[in-house]
């Protein structure tokens, strides 16, 4: 019998219990899944932030900590965590992110806010350019960024992407490293941020990098709040250098009531809903990783603790 502890907020247990049990059965795994297992008897921990486990030291026999979240910045620096840590790569999460990003990019591209007519507003015709003439930059060409870049390229946008290591993605001009960042920023009428929060990406969008964007650029951030120097973005919005920003993630969540983003007419705030891990598909990823752990095979989606993602 394999003991698996589910450590997340209580409401997550309600949505995950049945899909996890089904995925374990399908994988032929004999598992005792519970929210209450004595630490010394736990074989795997399914983890999400804000659950009961914060100290991993008592879990002396645990072979892995399996995150339900793609972003692991809340756990990666935990010094009590000596067990391997995996992050969530889930087809449902990626699909949701593609839909959210495509929706907000199309809102900007088509200037939808301007064109939605209300009674007594002027009948003004405005023809947006074709997608082929709109440049999109995607910072972060991992699981989610690549899926979004591909989908946007599929809509005919002129897409460039940026990552740490070199990439080759059909239909997307890929850049990497410090030199590549400038090229992507200069190419971004609409910039999408899908980097993880790490020491290296902290405030990657700052006064200097914002200045490299074309005048009137729009920003879509479903990545992490820490990617943006908020004061620099507000300055750039106030001068008009940045025309608009759609922000899903913030340094403090929920976004405090008195934060200037709420009142800014050129900022759209969404409450960290760009994409959710989907229990049905994610449970299969967790089951596969436990199967691998038991078979002595390498885990999928192992976090590089040094890089922080």
Active centre residues (catalytic): 224, 272
With CB under 6 A as the contact rule, the residue among 7, 67, 246, 275 that binds ligand NAP is: 275
Instruction: Candidates 18, 25, 117, 200: give the one binding ligand NAP (CB under 6 A).
Output: 200
Q: List the end-to-end C-alpha distance of the chain, in Å, as a whole number.
A: 31
DSSP state at residue 132: G
Longest dimension (CA), the chain: 70
Which residue, 146, 70, 140, is CA-closest to 301? 70
Binding positions for ligand NAP, 98-127, rule CB under 6 A: none
The Cα–Cα gap between 196 and 227 comes to 8
Measured in degrees and rounded to the nearest 5, phi and psi for residue 271 equal -90, 65
Contact mark string toward ligand NAP, 34..73, x via CB under 6 A: ------------------------------------xx--
Count of residues engaged in binding ligand NAP, rule: CB under 6 A = 28
Rounded to an integer, what distance in angstroms lies between the CA atom of residue 190 and that of residue 262? 21
Torsion of CA 163, 168, 170, 172, to 10 degrees: 30
Structure tokens belonging to residue 260: 């200037």
Cα–Cα dist 243/231, whole Å: 15
| 167/241 with CB nearer ligand NAP | 167
One of 164, 251, 259, 264 touching ligand NAP (CB under 6 A): 164
Among 16, 56, 157, 309, binds ligand NAP (CB under 6 A): 309
Report the residue closest to ligand NAP, judged by CB.
142
Binding to ligand NAP by residue 168, rule CB under 6 A? no
The correct pick among 223, 228, 229, 282 for binding ligand NAP (CB under 6 A) is 223
Residues that bind ligand NAP (CB under 6 A): 70-71, 93, 140-145, 163-165, 194-198, 200-201, 222-224, 248-249, 272, 274-275, 309
């Amino acid at each position: 019998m394999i003991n698996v502890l589910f450590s997340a907020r209580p409401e997550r247990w309600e949505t995950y219990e049945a899909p996890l049990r089904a995925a374990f059965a399908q994988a032929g795994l004999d598992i005792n899944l519970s929210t209450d297992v004595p630490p010394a008897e736990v074989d795997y921990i399914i983890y999400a932030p804000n659950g009961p486990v914060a100290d991993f030291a008592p879990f002396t026999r645990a072979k892995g900590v399996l995150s339900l979240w793609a972003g692991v910045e809340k756990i990666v620096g935990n010094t009590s965590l000596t067990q391997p840590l995996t992050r969530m790569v889930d087809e449902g999460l990626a699909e949701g992110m593609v839909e959210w990003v495509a929706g907000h990019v199309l809102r900007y591209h088509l200037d939808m806010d301007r064109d939605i007519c209300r009674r007594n507003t002027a009948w003004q015709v405005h023809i947006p350019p074709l997608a082929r003439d709109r440049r999109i930059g995607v910072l972060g060409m991992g699981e989610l960024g690549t899926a979004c870049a591909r989908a946007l390229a599929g809509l005919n946008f002129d897409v460039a992407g940026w990552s740490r290591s070199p990439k080759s993605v059909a239909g997307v001009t890929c850049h990497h490293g410090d030199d590549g960042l400038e090229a992507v920023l200069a190419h971004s009428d609409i910039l999408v941020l899908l980097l993880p929060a790490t020491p290296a990406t902290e405030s990657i969008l700052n006064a200097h990098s914002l200045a490299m964007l074309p005048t009137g650029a729009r920003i879509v951030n479903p990545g992490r709040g820490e990617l943006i120097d908020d004061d620099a973005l507000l300055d750039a919005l106030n001068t008009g250098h940045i025309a608009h920003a759609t922000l899903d993630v913030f340094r403090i969540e929920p976004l405090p009531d008195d934060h200037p983003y709420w009142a800014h007419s050129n900022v759209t705030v969404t409450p960290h809903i760009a994409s959710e891990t989907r229990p049905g598909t994610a449970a299969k990823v967790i089951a596969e990783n436990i199967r691998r752990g038991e078979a002595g095979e390498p885990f999928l989606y192992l976090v590089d603790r040094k890089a922080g993602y």
